[in-house]
Amino acid sequence: MHTNTIQAVLSTPLLLLLFSCGDAPKNNAKTSQDNPAVDIATRQVVVPRYSITADKTLNRPTGYREWVYVGMPVTPNELNNGKAAFPEMHSVYINPEAYRDYQRSGKFPDGTILVKELLSVGATSASSGNGYFMGDFVGLEATIKSTEHFPDEPGNWAYYSFTNKNGGALTSTAKPFPTASCNACHDASADDDFVFTQHYPVLRDARNEELAIPGQPLFSIDDGVLKRPRGYRSWVFVGGPLTPNELNKGKAAFPEFHNVYIDNESYAHLQKTGKFRDGTILIKELVSVGATSAVSGSGFFMGDFIGLEATIKSSKHFPDEPGNWAYYSFTSEDGAPLKKSANAFPTASCNGCHNANAAEDFVFTQYYPILRDALASAAGSPLKTDNQWQPIAAHPKAVAGMPLARRDLHAWLKSGKYQSFPAKNTKTHPGRGPHTQVKLPVKVFYNKILSKSVTNGARQHPKGAIAVKEMYDTSGALAGWAVMAKISDTSDAGKNWFWYEVTSTTDNGAVPAAGTGIPGCIGCHNVGGTDLILSGSPLL
């Protein structure tokens, strides 16, 4: 069977990944589908092969996290009446050769690949304010421009999804969507050649990017003054927290999108050792909130570049700073151009918050799934990119008087309103499910609708049936809640149950699962009981 290969190759000292069509692998590089595009630690080329077969089946791309990150739209359920078409956070990457071509010509060349990594919304509050923070990897999509493979498609673009809609691991191959599924919307609403460049400032700014100077170090510090780093968009993108004014009473401490990058060598070191090496540099690119609605729904979309910050770990330069970290800002006042150099912030300005709230060595890895993945890889258990804990359907705003939006539901649980339910355990007992930990103490509450249905021996519980489980830690302190709520009279094999779990009484973002028809929840609750209710009756 004839295949055309699109290969990633190393072309510059900055580890820019390029692709070429139809070439054989070079430098004896590996071609396994499961290998990353570049072994950054050894600086050796590793060439994954992306092939499109004669029937237009595409092998799942790999190594795309070392491509050029272009932006992240956010259209959460909370802003779309609980029914967002795209409720995830989307990290979008472009293959570097196409990006460089686009820089030169302003056109997307034949062979352009854009990959969209889907991530759940994790926390919705943090020390920086209320907003949206990346949760877990839940899916992957790709679009390719190819006159050879798609001569009859509008713009020669085709669209693929490797997301398993039924839960579980990503698919290894995919067929293109029918033309009408994607191209019509992209044709009508995208600014540039079927691509939504209006929401991707990296593409809009491509011609203005400050490239690294060959032979120059990643950063230069002279007498404590840091020269503004360049070329960081070729580093590894690690995440994009968002705390807009709209969610912080108009006074967000950080109202922008933040594009955060780590230098390639430090990322490789983190993957290998689980530690941030001496010499690590993280760059935070500040991007204004642009549009708050688009064809994809209501949300937040990237506007323009408005600032730049950096943090560096160096025992040589900052021997007396906590963790040897120092923080810099190149952002100018009143929209002026970025500063060419900057002095470090005083220790108290940044390190105190990072020390108190960051999960790993002054870095907020809890909000950066790519860094969490690197830490997991170092521990020998890389994260799985699947969606077994993601909802498969939308849910209403509330059911039987209980709100279903995560922030509101957490507040409702904290208020203890469920404790007035007519059926409840009078004391704790060992939990059967995994949740925080098997056999830790739990206490279960049924609302009136569920209590009556269970008592009557119904085989399917009606809409509005609710069960709340209090979860306790080893000391006997309340540690969180698990919730089930029926949103329809029919069960549909569990798909009409709403599931929610939060493992903190204070952090409404500590949510392993929230939504309707979550496969992982159904799989566990489908092993006994009646209509997925395992606690039985009566509750003692």
Listed in order, strand segments (DSSP E) in 233-357 are 236-239, 257-262, 281-289, 293-294, 297-298, 302-313, 325-329, 341-343
pLDDT at 334: 79
Q: Is the peptide bond before 214 cis (omega within 30 degrees of 0)?
A: no
> Looking at the predicted structure, is the pLDDT value of residue 237 above 80?
yes
Q: What's the CATH code of the domain at 120?
A: 3.50.70.20
What are the residues facing 170 on neighbouring strands? none
pLDDT at 167: 64
Tell me which of 349, 378, 407 is where a domain ends: 378
Domain membership of residue 98 as a residue range: 4-378
Is 93 contained in some domain? Answer: yes
Assess whether 402 and 324 both reside in one domain.
no
> Looking at the predicted structure, is the pLDDT value of residue 375 above 70?
yes
Assess whether 464 and 370 both reside in one domain.
no
Query: What is the C-alpha end-to-end distance of the chain, expressed in Å?
Result: 65
pLDDT at 409: 94
Average pLDDT value for residue range 44-49: 34
Report pLDDT digits (tens) over 318-349: 999 999 999 999 999 877 899 999 999 998 89
Report pLDDT digits (tens) over 491-515: 888 889 999 998 889 877 777 778 8
pLDDT at 264: 94
Q: Which residue has the tokens 């279960």?
A: 444
To which H or E segment does residue 375 belong? helix 369-378
Is 286 contained in some domain? Answer: yes
To which H or E segment does residue 283 belong? strand 281-289
Report pLDDT digits (tens) over 180-202: 889 889 999 999 999 999 999 99
Question: Considering the entire predicted model, what is its pTM?
Answer: 0.68
pLDDT category, 440, cuts 50, 70, 90? confident
Assess whether 136 and 254 both reside in one domain.
yes
Assess whether 402 and 370 both reside in one domain.
no
Report pLDDT digits (tens) over 277-325: 999 999 999 999 999 999 999 999 999 999 999 999 999 999 999 999 9
pLDDT at 25: 27
pLDDT category, 15, cuts 50, 70, 90? very low
Q: What's the CATH code of the domain at 516?
A: 3.50.70
Relative to beta strand 466-472, strand 478-486 is antiparallel
Dihedral over Cα of 363, 367, 373, 377: its sign = positive
Report pLDDT digits (tens) over 49-81: 357 888 899 988 888 888 999 999 999 988 998
pLDDT at 438: 57
Is 277 contained in some domain? Answer: yes
Average pLDDT value for residue range 14-34: 27
Number of domains in the chain: 2
Assess whether 193 and 231 both reside in one domain.
yes
Cβ atoms of 74 and 299 closer than 8 Å: yes
pLDDT at 235: 95
Assess whether 421 and 275 both reside in one domain.
no
d(CA 70, CA 91): 8
Closest among 329, 307, 304, 364 to 133, alpha carbons compared:
364
> Looking at the predicted structure, is the pLDDT value of residue 18 above 70?
no
**Based on the number of CB atoms within 10 Å of its own CB, is 207 exposed (0-12), middle (13-18) or buried (19 or more)?**
exposed
